[in-house]
Structure 1
């Protein structure tokens, strides 16, 4: 665990494919089986769909937290910001990085005049559930998932 009093970081949008690819080390903390090749393949599919990222960077330039997001609209939610793969490096958890990322995303959603912020969290990730409840999220619906094998 990192000493919170010593932690200094800045948040900014990660806007290029190489910058996104450099965050593979964090993506693997939530998705351990995600190869760099598969990560790049998915980014090539997601970026044209307006996928974006924000990162928390240490004074030395290392990304210690990241979140992907989209802004879109659905009938049940209106215009929304959807959080995707919200990850804080294990060594930096409980140090305020997650709260800062959440606040940044909330501000962006307000600036973009979104009606809601939504996300999916793995059912087994109880630490994430506690964090999102503290951040004011609630469970609205089930997200059903069906794998299709080619």
Structure 2
């Protein structure tokens, strides 16, 4: 297994089929439009490859908040179902841990849907814990993936 940091829209678009495990109806056009909006704001992806095939990917970006200072946010953590329980998730969180330290971050943050207990267990095992609630007010259902 080999990891690679993806920094361009073109590189990220190659992984749309993997993204569809999380967002089954994701269109190429929507993914491309979102990436074109996100990449200029420091969005990157970490991809894990087996024999040149992407089998896991997570997005991440670095930003600053008043209460926390500099942080990395993990976004859309996906491991292909055929490659789960092989340590790929830990490989990705370990990479992000190192990246956060290198970039002088005070913490790593992420969101996990309330009903995704498998993800909760994984994140607890990696040293993450809930700090608060992420409140959401949906304005446009059609804009959701």
1: CA distance, partners of 2:40 / 2:8: 12
Q: Which residue of 2 aligns with 1:19?
A: 11
1:61 corresponds to which of 23, 39, 52: 52
Segments of 4+ in structure 1 off by > 6 A? none
Q: Which residue of 2 aligns with 1:47?
A: 39
Q: Which residue of 2 aligns with 1:85?
A: 76
Structure 2 contact 7–39 (Cα < 8 Å) conserved: no
Q: What is the TM-score of this pair, normalised by structure 1?
A: 0.90
Q: What is the TM-score of this pair, normalised by structure 2?
A: 0.93
RMSD: 1.2
2:91 corresponds to which of 100, 109, 113: 100
Structure 2 contact 13–31 (Cα < 8 Å) conserved: yes
Aligned residues: 141
1:139 corresponds to which of 113, 123, 130: 130
Q: Which residue of 2 aligns with 1:30?
A: 22
1: CA distance, partners of 2:54 / 2:121: 23
Question: Where do 5+ consecutive residues of structure 1 fail to align?
Answer: 1-8
